[in-house]
Amino acid sequence: MELAVSSARETETAATSGGLSPQQMVAIYRLMYLSRCVDDREILLKRQQKVFFQISGAGHEALQVGAALALKPGYDWFFPYYRDRALCLGLGVTPADMFLQAVGAATDPASGGRQMPTHWSSRTLHIVSTSSSTTTQLLHAVGCAEAGRYFSRHPEAAANADGDYRAFHDVEFHGDEVVFTSLGEGSTSQGEFWEALNTASNQKLPVIFCVEDNGYAISVPVEVNTPGGNISKLVANFPNFHFAEVDGTDPEACLRAFKAAAAHCRAGLGPAFVHGHVVRPYSHALSDDDKLYRATAEREADALRDPLAKMQMRLLREGVLTADEINALEKSLDLVAAEGAERALEAPLPTVKSITEHIYSEDLDPTSSDFATEQIQAQSEGTSLAGGGVAGSAKGSGPRTMADLINACLHDEMRRDPRIVIYGEDVADASRESALEEVEGKGGVFKLTAGLQREFGSERVFNSPLAEANIVGRAIGYATRGMKPVVEIQFFDYIWPAMHQIRNELALMRWRSNGAWASPTVLRVPIGGYLTGGAIYHSQSGESIFTHIPGLRVVFPSNALDANGLLRTAIRCDDPVLFLEHKRLYRETYGRAPYPGPEFAIPFGKAKIVRAGTHITLVTYGALVPRSLQAAERAHREHGIDVEVLDLRTLNPYDWEAIATSVRKTSRVIVAHEDMLSWGYGAEIAARIADELFDSLDAPVRRVGAMDTFVAYQPVLEDAILPQPETILKAIVDLRSF
Ligand SMILES: Cc1ncc(C[n+]2csc(CCOP(=O)(O)OP(=O)(O)O)c2C)c(N)n1
Ligand SMILES: [Mg+2]
């Protein structure tokens, strides 16, 4: 099999410009046939219930072989989709590997039995793990191309460094590599398709977008998804693109199209769009029957365009192979597939013990004492902040706000680590650089990124389009290449367009690829209410929605020093981190602190006792820390109740030991948060306390949270909706007398 692929590639490399040599034709047919016969064998296994899912690449083979032969595995980068069997065979994935995935073997190199078949992944070939979600991979491809360009302009950034995520992410780049990504025509309806084209076009990125147009998205015909029925017509006005629309059943036309596309990209002229018209002879998947929704005449017309049959006819017609030679070739390939399937059926299955492997990095533990540098606070005070903007004002020993110390941390870390890029909506000082000579700069709607573009330049700090999925999706692509994107979602209230990328991609990359790929990225997100007028769409909480995502770290500091130290850990760690910054706390008097120096870090999962007490434990975080402290002081003053207030600081992981130790001491506990009470973060903590600390409790576990509604604009309503110090005080007094 190895031979089949390499001979196809070698003959391709030696190709002359016009037409295909007989050798090339055979090599192409070999790959196309192999793809089809692996599909057929897998279908057989599915019918025998030996594999559990099947979706085929039938009808798409010619287009994909064209792409495979025009590009370089292990040099270029690939973000394919589930139909790309022939592409992956052409790149060097073996039929044996494919069957290992189909049976869900422990030795499945793409996912170790975690993903369905045809969810490709190979580090050596540069095939990045993709999900079942249609279109998400396009933004990863864009970020990957941006990272490649960045390294070619800043080769020094490729150097490894100990002590942070870089120790585990080697960088490869060449300067002219191309990023390939593909999707079906139905998937072009997703917003992320347009978001990806937007950035690739604007930045002239070397990405080849390949639309494999089989005319259907399951049962939905192309005209329902694409106004006018032809995606090429709709995208034709994007600047900087090379466009090609081809008969995707003709391998020669496809190869030519991809060669031209790759040449355009390698020359730095911009992205390419290859639209191939293919057929789908096997229905959508084995669970689908297209006779239910396609007319017979239409299916018969498609069958006449089957690329495999057409190529076979051509070999015969042009006298390249005789019928006997074709038979012999096909038989040998059938044998390759049969042997691959046979071996896969004997392969070891994954162990149940392995399930929890690779949810988080096993190399770099952000809870480790390596990140416990609180003691060196203030040692190097004021030594590193040469930048302007807010960072400039964070110099010196006076108390600084949370906004100041987050900005200071960003300055410090960007200086230390050239792989960091920062982008988001309005985060740059000014996109039009010439304006910087006369204006102060924007630097974020809350000014948290002020001065960063001015100090580090527009290649490292820049504005994104107004598109949240674009921000997170590209970050995943950047991280694929070993970079560290530290991106901003302007308001938590608008994180939802990125939710698909966060849950199905960012947090899953490591687990679904069985540890082969990872997305160590920081998402900084201003959150929360108490703003007086923030209303529904600038006051939301919702952290428990994200702590419910395995693979994602969630951090929620309550004061300037914690924000600085936890952000540093977030940036250096090797997992994706959602870093929640409470808007109300940005500039409060509460929790200000002197600048602690450029090495100050706080490990994740370590709560802080912000007020010691003996009668009641109050577990809280974020904006409820100062409110809980107020309530605790009044409880002491007015009722003689001594409350211990525990600031969790990080929500995933969280410090169960600290909670348990305190509850064992006080026997009474309240969990208080700003988010809505029902199904909130407190529900999990309360349930675990009831479960594991039942014997230590003298009273029921109490919770304090917002009313189960959104935050209204009118302050009278806002005050009633969100928990106030009085709400907490009442819970304390009630619980003490229980
Ligand atoms: C975001 C998302 N929505 C829905 C689905 C379910 N689904 C899987 S494939 C498919 C149709 C895709 O059609 P098209 O993009 O034309 O690709 P094709 O399968 O025809 O190659 C749908 C709706 C999905 N996987 N992801
Ligand atoms: Mg389709």
Whether the per-residue pLDDT at 16 is higher than 70: the answer is: no
Q: How far does the centroid of ligand 1 lie from the alpha carbon of residue 199, in Å?
A: 23
Closest residue (by CA) to atom 20 of ligand 1? 217
Q: How far does the centroid of ligand 2 lie from the alpha carbon of residue 294, in Å?
A: 14
In the DSSP assignment, the letter for residue 74 is: T
Contacts of 14 (CB under 8 A, 6+ apart): none
Closest residue (by CA) to atom 8 of ligand 1? 134
Q: How far does the centroid of ligand 1 lie from the alpha carbon of residue 208, in Å?
A: 20
The helix-helix angle for 22-47 and 323-345 (nearest 10°) equals 40
Model confidence at 392, in pLDDT bands (50, 70, 90)? Answer: very low
For the chain, percent of residues with pLDDT exceeding 90: 93
DSSP secondary structure string, 340-397?
Answer: HHHHHHTSPPPPGGGGGTTSS-SS--TTSGGG--GGGTTTTTTSS----HHHHHT-SS
The pLDDT of 341-354, averaged and rounded, is 98
- Quote the CA–CA distance of 30 and 36 in Å, as a whole number: 10
- Quote the CA–CA distance of 41 and 37 in Å, as a whole number: 6
- Quote the CA–CA distance of 636 and 439 in Å, as a whole number: 51
Tokens linked to 226 = 């694409």
Contacts of 650 (CB under 8 A, 6+ apart): 553, 554, 555, 556, 566, 604, 605, 606
- Tell me how crowded residue 410 is: count the other CB atoms within 10 A of its CB: 31
Relative to the CA of 217, which ligand 1 atom is closest? 13
Whether the per-residue pLDDT at 386 is higher than 90: the answer is: no
Relative to the CA of 185, which ligand 1 atom is closest? 16
Please answer whether residues 526 and 563 qualify as being in contact, where contact means their C-beta atoms are separated by less than 8 angstroms: no
Relative to the CA of 81, which ligand 1 atom is closest? 21
For 120-158, b/e burial (b = at least 16 CB within 10 A) is bbbeebbbbbbbebbbbbbbbbbbbbbbbbbbeeeeebb
Q: How far does the centroid of ligand 2 lie from the alpha carbon of residue 720, in Å?
A: 51
Residues with CB under 6 A from ligand 1: 83, 132-134, 183-187, 212, 214, 216-218, 284
Whether the per-residue pLDDT at 484 is higher than 80: the answer is: yes
Bridge partners, 669 (sequence order): 617
Model confidence at 394, in pLDDT bands (50, 70, 90)? Answer: low
Model confidence at 375, in pLDDT bands (50, 70, 90)? Answer: low
Closest residue (by CA) to atom 17 of ligand 1? 184
Bridge partners, 209 (sequence order): 181, 273
Q: Determine the residue of 218, 225, 290, 505 to mutate for testing ligand 1's pocket, defined as the one with the most ligand atoms within 8 A of the Cβ atom.
A: 218
Closest residue (by CA) to atom 24 of ligand 1? 133
Whether the per-residue pLDDT at 586 is higher than 50: the answer is: yes
Q: Reply yes or no on whether 126 is catalytic.
A: no
- List alpha helices for 179-227, DSSP H: 191-202, 222-225
What was the pLDDT predicted at 393? 52
Ligand nearest to the CA of 191: 1
What was the pLDDT predicted at 376? 59
Q: How far apart, in Å, do the first and last CA atoms of the chain sit?
A: 74
Relative to the CA of 183, which ligand 1 atom is closest? 15
pTM of the model: 0.96
- Quote the CA–CA distance of 424 and 441 in Å, as a whole number: 15
Whether the per-residue pLDDT at 15 is higher than 80: the answer is: no
pLDDT tens, 157-204? 999 999 999 999 999 999 999 999 999 999 999 999 999 999 999 999
Q: How far does the centroid of ligand 2 lie from the alpha carbon of residue 155, in Å?
A: 40
The pLDDT of 562-577, averaged and rounded, is 98
By C-alpha distance, which of 116, 132, 175 is closest to 151? Answer: 175
Q: How far does the centroid of ligand 1 lie from the alpha carbon of residue 55, in Å?
A: 11
Q: Determine the residue of 134, 209, 499 to mutate for testing ligand 1's pocket, defined as the one with the most ligand atoms within 8 A of the Cβ atom.
A: 134
What was the pLDDT predicted at 373? 86
- Quote the CA–CA distance of 102 and 86 in Å, as a whole number: 16
For the chain, percent of residues with pLDDT exceeding 70: 94
Ligand nearest to the CA of 213: 2
Q: How far does the centroid of ligand 2 lie from the alpha carbon of residue 216, in Å?
A: 4
What was the pLDDT predicted at 2? 46
Please answer whether residues 75 and 126 qualify as being in contact, where contact means their C-beta atoms are separated by less than 8 angstroms: yes
Tokens linked to 701 = 């576990």
Q: Share the mean pLDDT of the chain.
A: 95
Ligand nearest to the CA of 183: 1
The pLDDT of 82-96, averaged and rounded, is 98
Relative to the CA of 83, which ligand 1 atom is closest? 21
Q: How far does the centroid of ligand 1 lie from the alpha carbon of residue 590, in Å?
A: 50
Q: Is the peptide bond before 653 cis (omega within 30 degrees of 0)?
A: yes
Q: Report how far apart, in Å, the C-alpha atoms of 512 and of each of 130, 159, 330, 506 are.
A: 9, 28, 34, 11
Whether the per-residue pLDDT at 405 is higher than 80: the answer is: yes
Which position among 275, 284, 538, 582 bears the catalytic label?
538
The pLDDT of 667-683, averaged and rounded, is 98
Closest residue (by CA) to atom 26 of ligand 1? 133
Strands, sheet with 272-277, edge to edge from the N-terminal-most edge strand: 77-79, 179-184, 207-213, 272-277, 242-247
Whether the per-residue pLDDT at 383 is higher than 70: the answer is: no
pLDDT tens, 241-277? 999 999 999 999 999 999 999 999 999 999 999 999 9
Q: For strand 242-247 and strand 272-277, is the pairing parallel, antiparallel, or unpaired?
A: parallel
Closest residue (by CA) to atom 21 of ligand 1? 184
Tokens linked to 486 = 């530290």
pLDDT tens, 225-237? 999 999 999 999 9
Relative to the CA of 136, which ligand 1 atom is closest? 1
Relative to the CA of 132, which ligand 1 atom is closest? 25
Q: How far does the centroid of ligand 2 lie from the alpha carbon of residue 227, in Å?
A: 15
